[in-house]
Structures are given as C-alpha cells and as structure tokens.
A = this chain, B = another copy of it.
C-alpha cells in the first residue's frame, strides 16, 4: 500500500485545546509513515485549501508538535468561512478536490463545529461522486457544546472550568467587600444560543463553597422584575450576589438585551456588553454598588487553567480520527461516549456525519432550576466531570511557554488560483 498525504484544518472560533486535537492528529499520523505521507495543514483553515496555501507540518520538530498539546489558539490559523451548499457553489468543492488531487491527499481531517461537520460531509460526498478516493473525518471542536451524539465537545470543558473558577474567585472577592462597598458582581459569558457556558458558572457554588449565584440563561426570556427580586433576595440573605449572564439573553420582545443597553460614542447601538446593562439595572432599581466583567476571548483561550479531561478528550478525538481513517472509515466523527458519571468514564465511538451535520444539540431544559436562575443536580452531574483535573502548561519567566510553529509553506502545484 502506497502512503498518501493528509490534510488537516482548523475551523471557526479557536479554543484552549484545539491544538491538542492537532497534536493528536499529527503525532498519530507520524506513527504510520507507510500509510500517511505528509500531513499538510490549511493556513487559516479551509481557506488555505481553497487558495492552495498549505503548511508542511513535516517541517515541525517532534518537540514543537508535542507542545501543541499545551498551546491554546489555532496554530495554523483558523477561519470563519462557511462553504455554501453544493448546489450553490459546486466550484468551491471541486476546487478542494483539485488541490487535494494535486498534493495526493487521501485523508481530510476537519477540526471544527457544526458547520465544518456539514462541509466535511459534503466534501466526502463530492469526492465519491467525482471518483476521487478520500476519507473525510470530522474532529469535533466547539466551546458551544452543541454537536450531537458526542457527550460533550472538546473546548467546552476548559471554558466551563475557567468560568467556574472565575465565578468562585470573584464571588469570594465581592463577599469580602460587600459590607461597605460592592455587593453585586456581574460576569458576562459566551453562548449566544445556548446556556452551557452560563450553566458552568453554577459549578462555582457547591456544598463546601456555598455562593449566592443568579444565572441568566439564553433559554429563558429575560424578565427584569423576577430577576431583580431574585438578586435582592440573595443580597438580603447573604449580603451579596454574583450574577452570571449569557451574552445571548433576550427580552420579551425577542431583542438581545446587549443591544438595548447603550449607544456607543457614534450613537450606534453597542453590540456585546450585556454585563453593564444588567449591572446598571441592578444599581438603578436596587441601589446596590456593582462591578462587572466581560470574559470574552479570555475564557476560550485560557489554556493556563484548562480542564485535564478536556485536554485528554481533545487529544483523543484527534488520535481517533487518524485511527478511523486508517481503518477505512469515511464521513465520520470521533464522538465522546460517557459510560459512567461517577467515577467518570468515557470512550471514543464513531458518529456518522450524516447524523451530525445540521443537528444542533440544545441544553436540556431540565438542567435549569425551577426558578430559572440556577442549575439542577442533573446539570451538575453532567458538567462536573468535564472540568475535572488540571493540566498546566510549562512556564518560562513567569509566563506559559506556548509554541509558535514555523508554518513553512508547501510549493503550489495547481496552475489555477482561487479567490475566496
């Protein structure tokens, strides 16, 4: 059997552990030189394939590849670029096959969320129709935790851990200050469509560290009066309150609360920034002094406090993707299968991409407590194992020693150019 080359690309918003998946792909591929020649990475994701801007990962040392496991972000560059439907833009898909053919690529590893699962499936289908032999494997990644079949999505566990840790720490802080000063802390978290990340804030409070939390989920219509009553009750009974708010909460009119709050210096409605709106509302109506924070990229880039479980799963899906390809699988995604809550146990299964593409997993409504402002025991049982364990990066000079790859370009072979 002649070795064929592989293509790997990172897609969509990056995470603290997407490079751990890349590490899993690359280290595993290197174990099978008789089957897999060189792994080419797309510079800036799939755009690199369309423009034939490929990176020769064979030029990276084993040490550099190993360091990807502890380096956040997308080492080859990612992109927000959704391929259109096959019917609308068949040329894009045919261009992919053209580039793959030129570089004898027999394996396509696409590391991303729901959109990239769909693209991966379409590439698989088109290559079959065109008679070009290709095994297309989707490697799951998304902090949104919204891929189906897999129990969780690599990238989410580390965001969840960051948010839970941050809420615990900031709550201890505001508790210290509440008697004479700030008694309200508001943290805005990601999750425009689903409350998975907001729910993770609920883990900050447990039996040994009881904290008065109010969580605002995008699954619930924001009701200012009920919210203010919940906050006031926490402050009156415990002296303070920490509020975790999803960026995606909406009012009864269906509009994002983040948009309703403020206008920027140019008079435009300011996108993002629901935290100051919520804090201002509490101040105006209840008179409490507040502080607010917006975690934004810090939450998904925080490799320094990544979940060991998440890192291990991210590596495992990368490794499994290569193994599945070598076993002849096509149009599948390695999925995390939970076999036990406590002790937490998981294994990797294969999910057919036809069942993954265009299916969005919602957070179960029974994960939200009856009052709408907290998480249930079911939710805790699901979330807690995902933040379990620490996996610190090496430090040098007081800072995490993350790797920046050489990212050497592969000479172009096609005569055509392609604009994206």
Interface residues of A (CB under 8 A from B): 10, 13-14, 16, 43-45, 47, 71-75, 77-81, 161, 164-166, 168-170, 172-181, 185, 187, 203-204, 206, 208-209, 260-266, 268, 270, 272-273, 275-277, 280-281, 284, 291-298, 300-305, 307, 309, 384, 387-390, 392, 395-402, 404
The complex places the Cα of A204 from the Cα of B396 at a distance, in Å, of: 12
Asked whether, in the complex, the Cβ of B10 is within 8 Å of the Cβ of A176, the reply is yes
Asked whether, in the complex, the Cβ of A293 is within 8 Å of the Cβ of B284, the reply is no
Which residue of the partner chain, among B166, B172, B390, contacts A395 with CB atoms under 8 Å? B390
Asked whether, in the complex, the Cβ of A297 is within 8 Å of the Cβ of B293, the reply is yes
Asked whether, in the complex, the Cβ of B297 is within 8 Å of the Cβ of A185, the reply is yes
* Residue contacts A-B, CB under 8 angstroms, 23 given: A14-B176, A47-B179, A71-B172, A75-B176, A164-B398, A166-B301, A169-B297, A169-B298, A169-B301, A173-B297, A173-B301, A203-B398, A203-B399, A204-B399, A208-B401, A262-B263, A262-B270, A265-B284, A270-B276, A292-B294, A293-B297, A307-B398, A387-B398
Q: Which residues of B contact A277 (CB under 8 A)?
A: 264-265
Of the listed residues A203, A387, A400, the one surrounded by the most CB atoms of chain B closer than 10 A to its CB is A400
Which residue of the partner chain, among B263, B296, B399, contacts A291 with CB atoms under 8 Å? B296
Determine how many copies of this chain the complex contains: 2
Minimum CB distance partner of A161 in chain B: B398
Asked whether, in the complex, the Cβ of A293 is within 8 Å of the Cβ of B292, the reply is no
Minimum CB distance partner of A242 in chain B: B297
Asked whether, in the complex, the Cβ of B173 is within 8 Å of the Cβ of A72, the reply is yes
Nearest CB of B to A224, in Å: 10
Asked whether, in the complex, the Cβ of A175 is within 8 Å of the Cβ of B400, the reply is no
The complex places the Cα of A389 from the Cα of B397 at a distance, in Å, of: 8
